[in-house]
Chain A
């Protein structure tokens, strides 16, 4: 008997077919992995199951009985809990309120039963108490939490449903290793209880660690379901990308990195600020400097501070030998600094506006452009987008019509119209698919070869090991180790990251 079965489910947004034919079968007590590049329809499939997207066609069966899921509330009643990739949290509400929000315990049908709410939330907060990190408590406002902590809240919110069918759409993208390990322990427990779990991740190691079966989706169509124990990553990736099977293998191969030139692109001396302290390094032109370590050890804070979006309390930064203190991102951009964040929604995307407006804002600033002519802008935008192999229907479609990976490409393209001198990458591949990652890193290497100094923070070790010339390992806000040459091994990276943690 299957817990959940989808037959030929489809969904179109206007002319775009988000899901052509989704088939899926979840058994009790399994972790079922969904794989596919971004925009292949995984998230749409999950949202259809969770009731927040209405399908155009197809059938959904729960325990072999056909059901119609009319909305998120109906999905809850039908026994479905979901972790949304983009999170479904109210940032001004507390952690405990968010956890219980979908079914607030009430007294007399009117008043919130605070004690019941606290008790219920506390059970789920306790599950992660060892790994949640500083500042995480039941009464903290979600908006004040770090990205990984917010993700934990969303996990708790999915767990509190105690639903027999649980969907996790990229629950680990911001988590550090300890948090992922804890989460997987919990998942194994749920599996043993006979729950059916759908799991999406772009990290191959996680998928092999937790998954039982994998269903591969390509271009909105279910391609195949395989047992993970009977297959290998290569096969899965080949099925995912279809014909082009030659690509992402390069990612795990030896670090083919460009040779750095002697001149420094950016140098940082004794820089301290909120979240990091006494950081010094120099990035030569053409060099890719990796920032490693566990999540939230100051890597993002440092990058944001250099870009003028964080706080610097002491120390100095020089670009091209010239001292500069960015007071604002505007300042930093004028000085040739570029910053790409993994948190597209917050730092990158101008939501709801056309693609062309999302490509050109930096150009406006650097060129001191007053009056824009679409035709001349188009000539500048198109090559930048093509350098990234961005897929888009027209420059005037809203950016939200693109998949996460393609949105990120648009954001990166905005920096390519006027070449910066320094590129700050703050976990740029968070939640984007393997194909887009491969495109992105090919471009980053090319940019380095053209003489840019690049700072790369990534939560995926493979990306650092495969692309960075040197890696600075962060721990508790400062650099604890520098890995160069043959020291750049996974073992060393793990060891340095965990040293004091």
Chain B
């Protein structure tokens, strides 16, 4: 009896395995669809176009941050300062937009500066981790405190509002289509282009086996720094989405998002050890976290129990995803 069981499993896993190799985000996708269905059961209204758009614009920031995290994880590193970078960019652009009058020119200029700030944060991390060879997890923890400090200097108290032009655009519609869908489309193109670059392949090769990559002749330090630069860039983009959604500056807003972004990366099917990542998975992982949160809300969980249920639900989803992946790979 045992023998037949092994037979079935091994042959079944063989097919699934090649699928998973090609699309490592499949478990995340299945979980996402299941959560959507559950949301529909508890509150049919939550599946309306309007609420889904709302969900997307709320969690777009986490999607961006999870993608940012994915690129450093690809190279076998991690960035615990991604959330702090987000906060810093958030407060910086809000202050700049306000100071420059809140017109279209001011907004664009502030966004350009925001990108530069994100890249600068990435560069600092890259130098500290790759060039100075400090442990990524500790070094970026330290820089996160440092970036938070800067953010608090820029805006000591939360609450400065962003110009109406900015958040109305983000939350509004363009040619009848919600703006956030344009963001998603641009993101998709960007991710596609990035996936074709030499940089990303080299990131993955470094994350796979750093020594082997070095012996192959890859500039390992430069590659890892580029990973952190990409992370900084996407953290800045995350900050734009967040600012569009909350319409205000908050120097501490990103702190708790950092570990959510790591969780989203793992949920999506990437290996934290590096070399094996999927940005599409991270996108789905971030939305999964968003859906878990909304599900907890729609289930009518009492407010004091919401964190508890949220944590439990994420743990369950993580387990389901990891077990599915492990079984298929075994």
A142's nearest neighbour on chain B, judged by CB, is B208
B193's nearest neighbour on chain A, judged by CB, is A111
Contact of A52 with B214 at beta-carbon distance under 8 Å, contacts A92-B204, A313-B7 already known:
yes
Contact of A112 with B197 at beta-carbon distance under 8 Å, contacts A90-B205, A92-B208 already known:
yes
Instruction: Give A80-130 interface residues, CB cut-off 8 Å to B.
Output: 82, 84, 87-93, 97, 101-104, 106, 110-112, 114
| Residues A93 and B198 in contact, CB atoms below 8 Å apart | no
Contact of A73 with B217 at beta-carbon distance under 8 Å, contacts A91-B275, A92-B276, A111-B196 already known:
yes
In the complex, A89 Cα to B16 Cα: how many Å? 25
Interface residues of A (CB under 8 A from B): 50, 52, 71-73, 75-76, 82, 84, 87-93, 97, 101-104, 106, 110-112, 114, 141, 144, 157, 274, 311-314
Interface of B is mostly: helix
Give the residues in chain A near B6, CB-CB below 8 Å: 311-313
Sampled A-B contacts (8; CB under 8 Å): A72-B214, A75-B217, A89-B209, A92-B208, A101-B213, A102-B216, A111-B198, A112-B197
Interface of A is mostly: mixed
Q: How far is the CB of A80 from chain B (nearest CB, A)?
A: 10
Query: Given A84, A91, A102, A274, which contacts B208 in the complex, CB threshold below 8 Å?
Result: A91
B10 at the interface (CB under 8 A from A): yes
Number of A-B contacts (CB under 8 A): 83
| Residues A110 and B209 in contact, CB atoms below 8 Å apart | no
In the complex, A111 Cα to B205 Cα: how many Å? 16
B259 at the interface (CB under 8 A from A): no
Contact of A93 with B216 at beta-carbon distance under 8 Å, contacts A111-B196, A311-B10 already known:
no
In the complex, A141 Cα to B193 Cα: how many Å? 22
Query: Given B193, B196, B215, B276, which contacts A52 in the complex, CB threshold below 8 Å?
Result: B215
| Residues A89 and B212 in contact, CB atoms below 8 Å apart | yes
In the complex, A72 Cα to B214 Cα: how many Å? 7
In the complex, A114 Cα to B198 Cα: how many Å? 10
B303 at the interface (CB under 8 A from A): no
In the complex, A88 Cα to B218 Cα: how many Å? 11
In the complex, A114 Cα to B199 Cα: how many Å? 14
| Residues A90 and B212 in contact, CB atoms below 8 Å apart | yes
| Residues A104 and B201 in contact, CB atoms below 8 Å apart | yes
In the complex, A421 Cα to B161 Cα: how many Å? 76
Give the residues in chain B near A87, CB-CB below 8 Å: 212
State the 6 A-B residue pairs at the shortest beta-carbon distance, nearest first. A90-B208, A88-B212, A72-B217, A88-B215, A102-B217, A73-B217
Query: Given B21, B197, B202, which contacts A111 in the complex, CB threshold below 8 Å?
Result: B197
In the complex, A76 Cα to B215 Cα: how many Å? 10
B207-239: CB near A (< 8 Å → 1, else 0) gives 011011111111100000000000000000000
Give the residues in chain B near A93, CB-CB below 8 Å: 201, 204-205, 208
Give the residues in chain B near A106, CB-CB below 8 Å: 198
Contact of A90 with B197 at beta-carbon distance under 8 Å, contacts A72-B216, A73-B219, A313-B3 already known:
no
Give the residues in chain B near A312, CB-CB below 8 Å: 3, 6
Instruction: Give B262-295 interface residues, CB cut-off 8 Å to A.
Output: 275-276
